[in-house]
């Protein structure tokens, strides 16, 4: 009797050992919560821009950070104040000219700002940086919520 009971419990344990990881993985995939692809709009920056005569004007630049994959969304949100400060320092050191804010040079600037955001956190929290007009409003409810919370 003990031998049958032992054999039965061994078989049940083996079946559970095989089925449990697959079930746990499926459950984790079904219940994954994240904001990957959501955007966080930062407060507008007053960026110094030098003209040909060397005079400095200040332009308003509004930035949206696009969050990366879901497992890193919360740390990305907590890192927003650090990234904001690093971007501000970058703008004041960059010595931008008016042409940097339009056309293809605007895309190059966005790439440089993404590099600053990634280096300031030492993680891949953000997948893109968007330079938008100050009056562009977010319409995605998740992005609106994150924009109000991640400051």
- Contact between 116 and 88 (Cβ < 8 Å): no
- Measure the CA–CA gap between 79 and 87, rounded to whole angstroms: 12
Top pLDDT among 143 and 5 is at 143
pLDDT tier for residue 29 given thresholds of 50, 70 and 90:
very low
Residue 61 has a CB neighbour count (10 Å cut-off) of 23
- Residues 93, 47: contact at Cβ < 8 Å? no
Q: 114 near 68, Cβ under 8 Å?
A: no
pLDDT tens across 43-70, in order?
999 999 999 888 999 999 999 999 887 6
Matching residue, tokens 């650090």? 82
pTM of the predicted structure, to 2 decimals? 0.72
- Could you tell me where the DSSP H helices lie in the chain? 2-30, 73-78, 80-94, 103-121, 141-149
Structure confidence by residue, pLDDT tens digits, 71-127: 677 888 899 999 999 999 999 999 999 999 998 999 999 999 999 999 998 788 899
Q: What pLDDT was estimated at residue 77?
A: 87
CATH 1.10.3470 applies to domain 39-149? no
């Amino acid at each position: 009797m003990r031998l049958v009971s032992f054999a039965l419990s061994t078989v049940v344990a083996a079946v559970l050992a095989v089925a449990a990881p697959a079930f746990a993985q499926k459950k984790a995939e079904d219940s994954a919560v994240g904001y990957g692809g959501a955007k966080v709009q930062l407060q507008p920056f007053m960026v110094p821009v030098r003209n040909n005569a060397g005079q400095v004007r200040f332009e308003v630049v509004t930035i949206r950070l696009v969050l990366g994959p879901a497992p890193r969304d919360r740390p990305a949100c907590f890192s927003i104040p650090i990234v904001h400060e690093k971007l501000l320092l970058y703008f004041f050191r960059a010595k931008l000219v008016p042409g940097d804010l339009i056309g293809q040079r605007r895309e190059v600037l966005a790439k440089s700002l993404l590099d600053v955001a990634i280096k300031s956190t030492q993680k891949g929290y953000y997948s893109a940086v968007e330079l938008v007009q100050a009056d562009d409003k977010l319409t995605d409810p998740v992005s609106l919520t994150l924009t109000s919370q991640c400051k």
